[in-house]
Structures are given as structure tokens and as C-alpha cells.
Chains A and B, each alone.
Chain A
Amino acid sequence: AQKVTQAQTEISVVEKEDVTLDCVYETRDTTYYLFWYKQPPSGELVFLIRRNSFDEQNEISGRYSWNFQKSTSSFNFTITASQVVDSAVYFCALSEVEFSGGYNKLIFGAGTRLAVHP
């Protein structure tokens, strides 16, 4: 069965600190996708990144970076020089690949609430 674990329930940092949000996943599939979403207080989910299981290259996008380690089944997310606007709940998610149906369910982790203080 697929499972996503975000062990950090809440993280509190001061502005300009770097912060890493952990994500560990379980799946028996050899082909899968991993996602990170941001959920600000408004509730809307904001897509941040998708990574497929065959692409272990790390990615950097501005202050955001992601470290995909297939050997440890982890897909960690780092925010460099955090800002108050980064305060939100961040969800890591795993996607099954349904070849028959051609669609993909997302299994979400419990989320990590990040509070960035001025």
C-alpha cells in the first residue's frame, strides 16, 4: 500500500533561516510520482513540484529546492532564506499510476505547518 509520512507536524523559524521539510514515502510501484503542494490559510492548494520515480535529479527553483533520494524513499523540500509569506501548510503527496484508467490518485502526507516569524 502507498503511504506518505511527514513526521514534522509543525516547524517554526525566524525569517531568513533555511528550513527543510521531510517526506518519506512507501510504495511497491516502480513507477510513481511525488508532489509537493503548499496550502496557505486561504485553503487553496498551490502546486510546487512533481517528480517522477525515474528522475532522481535534485531541483532548484528560486529559494526552493528538492532532494529526491530513492534509496531512502525520501523527497525532502528545503526553503532557503525563508520569508513570512512562506508560512503555510506543506503537503507531500504520492501518485499511483493507474494504467487501466489513465488517472492518478494522490495520497497525501499529514502535512507540515510552517510558521515563519519576522
Chain B
Amino acid sequence: GAVVSQHPSRVICKSGTSVKIECRSLDFQATTMFWYRQFPKKSLMLMATSNEGSKATYEQGVEKDKFLINHASLTLSTLTVTSAHPEDSSFYICSATSTSGSSGANVLTFGAGSRLTVL
């Protein structure tokens, strides 16, 4: 089945540094990737939607300059948390779909998540 690899699974960084998280679709071409954020014991909140070769669409309240998303190829999307602060500590999960056109929903494949801790 479809596999999405997310790396790193855990990262600890100092406040003020930038951290990049990668999301790769291993055996399919992902036209669209989604980035979610999950606070402890909370639900998943959609941060942004990225389509290959175009700018990401951010959800209301998500800082575009803070959370840089790049979807340069059909198998890779990256989320960069710039100038990270302790409040950015969270669990970040990506998902990918190969849906194209208006045929309906395919199953979204999720990565295993990346736990970011900013000291």
C-alpha cells in the first residue's frame, strides 16, 4: 500500500533556530500533501495544504512566514519551522494523497509524525 515517510521522527532544537521536517511519498506520486499540528492530548489541526509546484494554502491563523512549506516534487514536501520558540513545540504530521481531478476522496496516507521540542 501507499507509504509516507516523515523525517525526523523527533527533533530537539534551541529557541531561535529553524527546523526542517520532510514528508516523502515512497511508492506513489502525491499531488497534494497536508500538514497537521497536534498539541498534547488534542486533535489534529490542519495547518496548510500544499500542491506540487505551487504555493501552499494556509489555514486561518497559521503564520506563513513562520511555517514555510515547499512541495517541490511529487514525492517530497517540507515544513520548515523558522526561528522556533517553545510554543512551537508540538507533534507535526503530514499526509499525502494521489487524488487528482474530481473523482472523489482517496484514502489519505499519513506519515508517522515528527515531535518537535524547542528548548
Contacts and interface: CB of A to CB of B under 8 A. Distances in A.
A104 B102 CA distance: 10
A101 B110 contact: no
A43 interface: yes
B104 A52 contact: yes
A52 B105 CA distance: 9
Nearest to A42: B112
Interface stretch (A66-74, A79-87, A105-113): A105-113
Nearest to B34: A105
A109 B43 contact: yes
Nearest to A109: B43
Contacts of A44: 110-113
A101 B112 CA distance: 25
Interface in A38-64: 42-45, 47, 50, 52
Contacts of A42: 112
B26 interface: no
A37 B113 CA distance: 14
B112 A106 contact: no
Given A31-B104, A91-B43, A111-B43, 12 more contacts: A43-B115, A44-B112, A45-B95, A47-B108, A97-B105, A101-B51, A102-B99, A102-B101, A104-B106, A105-B46, A108-B43, A108-B44
Interface of B: 31-32, 34, 41-46, 49, 51, 91, 93, 95, 97, 99-113, 115
11 contacts: A33-B104, A43-B115, A45-B93, A47-B107, A97-B104, A102-B102, A103-B31, A103-B49, A103-B97, A111-B43, A113-B41
